[in-house]
Amino acid sequence: MRLELRGHGERYLCETLALLFFPAAGFSDAVDDGLYARATLQEDTVSITLRAHGRVVAAEELLHPGETAGEGIGRAFFRAGWALTGIKPPWGTLTGIRPAKKVRQLMDAGLTAEEAAHRLLRDCYTEPAKAMLCAGVLESEERALARLNRKGVSIYLGIPFCPTRCSYCSFVSHSVEKEGRFIPSYVEALMEETRATLAALREAEIPVQTVYMGGGTPTTLTAEQLHGLLKLVGEYVDIGSLDEFTVEAGRPDTITAEKLQALIECGVDRISVNPQTTDNDTLLRIGRTHTAEEFFDCYHLARTFPFQVINVDLIAGLPGEPVAAFHKSLHDVIDLAPENLTVHALSLKRAARLEYKDMERTSRGARDIFDMLEEAAAATAENNYHPYYLYRQRNTLGNLENVGYARGETQCLYNVYIMGEYQDIVALGAGGVSKVVGLPGGRIERVFHNKHFHEYIADREKLAINREKLLHLLKLKRSANLL
Ligand code: SF4
């Protein structure tokens, strides 16, 4: 697509909006693929012209008082895109990763959740079901925030290894087959970093509220490696005072009774067991080396251990998976009654083997995914789950969302605090991105580790520099009384 901007610099926003209607579009002035968009801002008027394969549509919007150019561009783009393609994105003009953020801003300005949801319908063309989802998430978020320790941090430990690589994977993860021999040196480096960082936090009297080990697939590690690493956390953090200790066990083909026992012995109280689907044909197609039956066995095994919360992940829109298979997966999982259920809309990033341009070919299309998510919302509500967190990723089918559902008060605090940027996060391991939030002017500072595990293992000096920088920011925030 050729994109022309006049009178403003909202390129990223325009690209994101264009992807709502042309999901496989690339952006280049050099290549003519028959797609063109022009976004003009003149005083308080926005006009959008879209051309696709010879058809042209234009739309104009006046900025409301106090509105940003981006908001007006969003509305005009939405109207032109809808008229040209017939696609009506359910989230309307809300393109950010946290659609509920807009509702929170409106509530902070004095509106009730219901009034704020109404405003989304009027100003952002959001469908009522999505606006109500935002309102529901914020209601649940309020309860999680009542427990937030603003002086505290959450810890993330990253394990970037998986048994094999799933075809849709967009994470930095390495298959055990190719890179498994490096796991012992990785664990050693991670233990060294964990030891040094937790000691520094303890010395600075910064409490840890939640710990989350994710991946990759953490249970790729042996029971001994898991035990060693998690026990180490307990040497520096009072496990009894933690509000949550999660290990995203992940793939059923890596989970054994021995590993579950190791997690229990180290104080882990929340795990994930993730089939993504219970359809064996789909599992085979996406390169997961386990069957639905193995998932069920693994789930039942995990239930024999005293974890307080088990989460199960599903993905809507997996390549070639019919809507009926998703519905079956959903009801299979609900029948198991896990405390948490997370439903993702398939997101494909550049790193995925399955390319984004294949999306239209390999899925039934965004409308089907929309239906799958609607079914998930209805079925979870009928079975006493409530939505408690919500986020989106770029390149998600139909620009749709990932939603965490919980029964009772079992919502994952880590997910709420970190996704909502309510708490500082200390991320350990390759690719870790630590964040200090709520600095003057609402600023957020990030500290990035090396992404690749080889560089992470080799460059201990960078880890020490990062630790110093992070500790400095954490202490600064606390001494400046910004909590
Ligand atoms: S289990 Fe998750 S992180 Fe690992 S390859 Fe599959 S999608 Fe990627």
pLDDT tens digit string along 279-311?
999 999 988 889 999 999 999 999 999 999 999
pLDDT at 363: 39
Which residue has the least CA distance to atom 8 on ligand 1?
169
pLDDT at 389: 93
Give the count of domains, the chain: 3
Q: Is residue 350 part of a domain?
A: yes
* Most confident of the following: 123-137, 172-186, 383-397, 424-438: 424-438
Write down which residue in 76, 98, 133 finishes a domain.
133
pLDDT at 86: 87
pLDDT at 361: 43
Whether 348 and 312 map to the same domain: the answer is yes
Give dist(CA 218, CA 233) in Å, integer: 15
Give dist(CA 370, CA 360) in Å, integer: 14
pLDDT at 348: 66
Give dist(CA 194, CA 191) in Å, integer: 5
Question: 68: domain CATH number?
Answer: 3.30.160.100
Which residue has the least CA distance to atom 7 on ligand 1?
169
Question: 246: domain CATH number?
Answer: 3.80.30.20
pLDDT band at residue 349 under the 50/70/90 scheme: low
Could you identify the atom of ligand 1 that is nearest to the CA of residue 274?
Answer: 1
Whether 124 and 242 map to the same domain: the answer is no
Report CA(26)–ligand 1 centroid distance (Å): 26
Q: For residue 217, how many C-alpha atoms fall within 13 Å in the half-sphere facing its CB? A: 26
- Is residue 119 within 8 A of residue 106, CB to CB? The reply is yes
pLDDT at 122: 86
- Is residue 244 within 8 A of residue 412, CB to CB? The reply is yes
Q: Is residue 462 part of a domain?
A: no
Total Cβ atoms within 10 A of residue 11: 12
Whether 81 and 95 map to the same domain: the answer is no
- Is residue 449 within 8 A of residue 431, CB to CB? The reply is yes
Could you identify the atom of ligand 1 that is nearest to the CA of residue 165?
Answer: 5
Q: Which has the minimum average pLDDT: 121-125, 349-353, 452-456?
A: 349-353
Whether 103 and 54 map to the same domain: the answer is no
Spatial neighbors of 392 by CB under 8 A, at least 6 apart, are: 91, 96, 97, 98, 99, 345, 399, 400, 401, 402
Report CA(437)–ligand 1 centroid distance (Å): 28
Higher model confidence: residue 218 or residue 129? 218
- Model confidence over 55-90: pLDDT tens digits? 999 999 999 888 899 999 999 999 999 999 888 888
Whether 238 and 336 map to the same domain: the answer is yes
Q: Which has the minimum average pLDDT: 145-159, 176-190, 395-409?
A: 395-409
- Is residue 206 within 8 A of residue 474, CB to CB? The reply is yes
Phi first, then psi: give them for residue 451, nearest 5 degrees: -75, -45
Whether 59 and 71 map to the same domain: the answer is yes
pLDDT band at residue 135 under the 50/70/90 scheme: confident
Which residue has the least CA distance to atom 6 on ligand 1?
166
Write down which residue in 380, 404, 425 finishes a domain.
425
pLDDT band at residue 459 under the 50/70/90 scheme: very high
Task: Check pLDDT > 50 for residue 351.
Answer: no
Q: What is the DSSP string of 40-90?
A: EEETTEEEEEEEETTEEEEEEEEPPTT--HHHHHHHHHHHHHHHHH----T
**Across residues 245-271, what is the average pLDDT?**
96
3-state secondary structure of 36: strand
pLDDT at 355: 47
Residues in the chain: 483
Is 0.85 topped by the overall pTM? Answer: yes
Ligand 1 site: residues with CB under 6 angstroms? 162, 165-166, 169, 171, 173, 215-217, 250-251
- Residue written as tokens 């050099």? 30
Q: Which two tokens stand for residue 427?
A: 């991320």
Structural domain including 333 reads 144-425
Q: Is residue 441 part of a domain?
A: no
Q: Is residue 233 part of a domain?
A: yes
Task: Check pLDDT > 90 for residue 463.
Answer: yes
- Model confidence over 203-244: pLDDT tens digits? 999 999 999 999 899 999 999 999 999 999 999 999 999 999
Whether 389 and 405 map to the same domain: the answer is yes
pLDDT band at residue 28 under the 50/70/90 scheme: confident
Closest CA to 299 of 262, 328, 271, 330: 271
Report CA(173)–ligand 1 centroid distance (Å): 7
Q: Which two tokens stand for residue 67?
A: 């509105």
pLDDT at 82: 93
- Residue written as tokens 């030891």? 195
Q: Is residue 476 part of a domain?
A: no
- Is residue 310 within 8 A of residue 272, CB to CB? The reply is yes
pLDDT at 255: 96
pLDDT at 302: 98
Report CA(73)–ligand 1 centroid distance (Å): 36
Give dist(CA 451, CA 346) in Å, integer: 23
- Model confidence over 323-337: pLDDT tens digits? 999 999 999 999 999
Task: Check pLDDT > 90 for residue 440.
Answer: no
3-state secondary structure of 216: coil
Whether 101 and 83 map to the same domain: the answer is no
pLDDT at 359: 46
In the chain, % of residues over pLDDT 90: 67
- Model confidence over 89-114: pLDDT tens digits? 889 988 877 888 888 888 888 888 77
Closest CA to 384 of 330, 337, 438: 337
Report CA(273)–ligand 1 centroid distance (Å): 12
Please calculate the CA angle 276-216-377 and round it to the nearest 5 degrees.
30
Task: Check pLDDT > 90 for residue 429.
Answer: yes
Task: Tell me the C-alpha to C-alpha distance, in Å, between residue 422 and each of 145, 200, 466.
Answer: 8, 22, 21
**Across residues 44-54, what is the average pLDDT?**
94
What average pLDDT does the structure give for the chain? 91
pLDDT at 362: 41
